[in-house]
Amino acid sequence: MGKKTEQFETYQAQNPTKTFKDYFAKKLNKKDFTGKTHKSLGPNLEVGDFEESGKKRFKSIVKAGLKPEDIYVDYGCGTLRVGLHAINYLNAGNYWGMDIADTLLETGSSLIGETLMAEKKPNLRVISPDSVVEVAALKPKLLFSTRVLKAVHEGDLHEYIENIVRIIGDSGRAIIHSKWSNDASFQFEDWKWAHGMNDMRAMCAKMGCTVTVLRETTRPVDGGILSQGMFSIEPAAAAK
């Protein structure tokens, strides 16, 4: 068990009603993303410029069928590295970026600038029961969640899946880009989890949805075999 995990367990012992998501959001809200480099958050990325780094990922979203007139949900939007390109592409008001911490959304809005915010009117929301209901009412065409699942604690997995299913409703589609396990779930790094695909399929089935693996590669890591790629979640009726 790593130091980060020990810190969370101490926090949870002191706050038994709180989850890992609450703990992580609290840590994020204390961070200043304008300083140190980061793989995917803030202006100082380890690889590439903020304005260019999300282009390749966004191209895969367009290939999935996204049109400018669609309502689109970026679930776990971070500081809008990919969201920038979606906001530019979509009609005004059609982008919904959701994440667990205010500081991520505030940093993202400052990075894309006041002009684009005013022109395209993106909707940025902290993930909550109210914001899930709000965006679900709009019947979004597509939800995309990239690099998020692996950071979802096992205790928060059901909420993550349930929120996505509620947002896509009976007519939308979700595409998850991340890592998972085809066997039992396991933790492969501090604060990174490979959730079992069979467990996620079962959760989705109980909610009336099906899971389809779209792309997958595998490699051995400490703890098991790690799968990486994309899978979709969609209403069972729509998938037939």
The per-residue pLDDT for range 188-219, each reduced to its tens digit, is 988 899 999 999 999 999 999 999 999 999 99
Give pLDDT, residue 32.
73
Average pLDDT over residues 112-128: 96
Find, among 171, 204, 155, 125, the residue nearest to 22 by Cα.
155
pTM above 0.85, yes or no: yes
Measuring CA to CA, how many Å separate 9 from each of 15, 18, 127? 10, 11, 23
Q: Are 232 and 214 in contact (CB under 8 A)?
A: yes
Q: State yes or no: pLDDT of 240 exceeds 70.
A: no
Question: For residue range 35-76, what is the model confidence (pLDDT) as tens digits?
Answer: 677 677 656 666 767 777 788 889 999 999 999 999 999 999
SS3 50: helix
Give pLDDT, residue 143.
98
Give pLDDT, residue 42.
54
Give pLDDT, residue 53.
75
State the average pLDDT for the chain: 91
| CATH number of this structure's domain 3-239 | 3.40.50.150
Q: State yes or no: pLDDT of 11 exceeds 90.
A: no
Q: Are 179 and 148 in contact (CB under 8 A)?
A: no
Give pLDDT, residue 155.
92
Q: State yes or no: pLDDT of 141 exceeds 90.
A: yes
Give pLDDT, residue 25.
86
Looking only at the bridges linking them, the beta strands covering 142-146 and 209-221 are unpaired
Taking the CB of residue 110, how many other CB atoms lie within 10 A of it?
Answer: 15
d(CA 124, CA 105): 6
Band of pLDDT at residue 126, cut at 50, 70 and 90: very high
d(CA 24, CA 20): 6
Q: Are 127 and 163 in contact (CB under 8 A)?
A: yes
Single-letter amino acid code for the residue at 38? H
Q: State yes or no: pLDDT of 164 exceeds 80.
A: yes
Band of pLDDT at residue 148, cut at 50, 70 and 90: very high
d(CA 227, CA 220): 9
d(CA 182, CA 197): 5
Q: Using a pLDDT cut of 90, give the percent of the chain over it.
A: 70
Q: Are 136 and 182 in contact (CB under 8 A)?
A: no
Give pLDDT, residue 195.
97
Question: Which sequence spans correspond to the domains of the chain?
Answer: 3-239
Half-sphere exposure of residue 161, counting CA atoms within 13 Å on the CB side?
Answer: 27
Give the residue, 209 or 13, on which the prediction is more confident.
209
Give pLDDT, residue 44.
63
SS3 22: helix
SS3 220: strand
d(CA 219, CA 216): 10
Question: For residue range 14-32, what is the model confidence (pLDDT) as tens digits?
Answer: 998 888 998 888 888 887 7
Distance of CA 80 to the CA centre of its chain: 11
